[in-house]
Structure 1
């Protein structure tokens, strides 16, 4: 899996601070942005995050290039509606020798791993045979597995990202999207540490697990994981 932050709003924390200050200021945004010191920006952003004045976070965006993930993962990812997606097309990109994601639970079981890899090869063969018959790629792809590797470019605003992390960094999230979420979180923490200082699973941000009786019971471990 590869996750890289390839583009984001210039000076994201200053932009958020400017938007927040504008709500209560008689002067314009440009003048505010120029006059605020780094210390004022830091103080205001911390206050915004603590207060939950989240609409101001929508003014900054972060774009990721992601590779080495399965269609299982992207089926979950695109359920996050306040985001933009551009995914590698199986209609136009030939999948004769497609890569695939092997879940760890299967990989560590020799018998299961062989059954899985044998099936992937059979699917490759069936795909090749269908395309050789003249079947269009957009129809031959119906035999492809959810395990097939894919690539995607994703853009979130900061508010949507925080919500994404609250759900997908949770210990109960599916393993693959959880791994990706932590890689994304690491990237944005480098770009905007104040905005994402407390980002992560809901329990980490609020001190309360929203899962009720289904809690993982690992609050201390989740705190340590966030700090790493």
Structure 2
């Protein structure tokens, strides 16, 4: 029986800063007063963005750089200026890792087009044998009885083939060779639809996240990837409000105040 699944997003990793090492570096170059504005027990990814930006201009405090007579002391204002001035390179130091669960290979094929600043580890259907065909149906499709009947019949046949092929190849027989299992499983995956649900770890830096959220929530983007990146946008606005708070959401499209950062 066809199993409907919903795409899910899990934030599984975020940057971790070392207060003592920051302090050791600032002791060498000056600027220890900047650390006084931070909470050593609650350092955030935004602190890393600010640190990287200030290092570029040696602007941790006035006087370190003779060209800098005054500095912004409010982090939110400082990071807004980073965005407004398109100083996006400092955002590349901040990476977040997500598990995208029950997303289709339609989505993953589109996602691989975003390559800079990204790392991907995807479930391998060469090794992971399909016992069923988990599948996401958008709401409009689920409201069409005839469409659902015909689509479910197709998916049921594909599931039946997977079960039949595993038995035909003896993949669960005692002593079945793993090399044979891998070879036959690789063949069997060819009879699964592109919409079969899969999973991957997707890591991206903030600069890439900003561009991808904008591109993949745009009105013309594919509907599943729009759904997923709306959720990623919501997560990032909570994680780094100063770096993602400039977006306005209109009909599901995330529109930044500053583009091409």
The TM-score, its normalising length taken from structure 2, stands at 0.70
CA contact (8 A) 1:170 1:200 kept: no
Backbone CA RMSD of aligned residues: 2.5
In structure 2, what is the equivalent of residue 151 of structure 1? Answer: 199
In structure 2, what is the equivalent of residue 16 of structure 1? Answer: 49
Secondary structure in structure 2 of the residue aligned to 1:63: strand
Distance 2:59 2:193 in 1: 57
CA contact (8 A) 1:12 1:192 kept: yes
Distance 2:57 2:104 in 1: 46
CA contact (8 A) 1:169 1:200 kept: no
In structure 1, what is the equivalent of residue 11 of structure 2? Answer: 5
CA contact (8 A) 1:166 1:200 kept: no
Secondary structure in structure 1 of the residue aligned to 2:256: helix
CA contact (8 A) 1:162 1:200 kept: no
In structure 1, what is the equivalent of residue 112 of structure 2? Answer: 78
Deviates more, 1:98-107 or 1:170-179: 98-107
In structure 1, what is the equivalent of residue 31 of structure 2? Answer: none
In structure 2, what is the equivalent of residue 212 of structure 1? Answer: none
In structure 2, what is the equivalent of residue 49 of structure 1? Answer: 83
Distance 1:26 1:148 in 2: 51
Deviation at 1:52, TM superposition (A): 1.3
1:103-131 alpha-carbon deviations (Å, 9 max, x no partner): 33322211111100100000111122222
In structure 2, what is the equivalent of residue 142 of structure 1? Answer: 190
Distance 1:176 1:2 in 2: 11
CA contact (8 A) 2:92 2:206 kept: yes
1:160-218 alpha-carbon deviations (Å, 9 max, x no partner): 0001011011111111000000101111111111011124778822499xxxxxxxxxx
1:193 pairs, out of 219, 236, 241, with 241
Residue pairs, 1:34-45, within 5 angstroms: 39-45=73-79
Distance 2:52 2:74 in 1: 13
Say yes or no: does 1:204 pair with 2:255.
Answer: yes
Aligned residues: 200
Q: Cα 1:195–1:61, aligned 2, differ >3 Å: closer, same or farther? A: same
2:164 pairs, out of 94, 111, 129, with 129
Distance 2:223 2:107 in 1: 9
Which of the pair has more CA radius of gyration? Answer: 2
Which consecutive unaligned segments of at least 5 residues does structure 2 have? 1-6, 17-43, 65-70, 170-182
The TM-score, its normalising length taken from structure 1, stands at 0.80
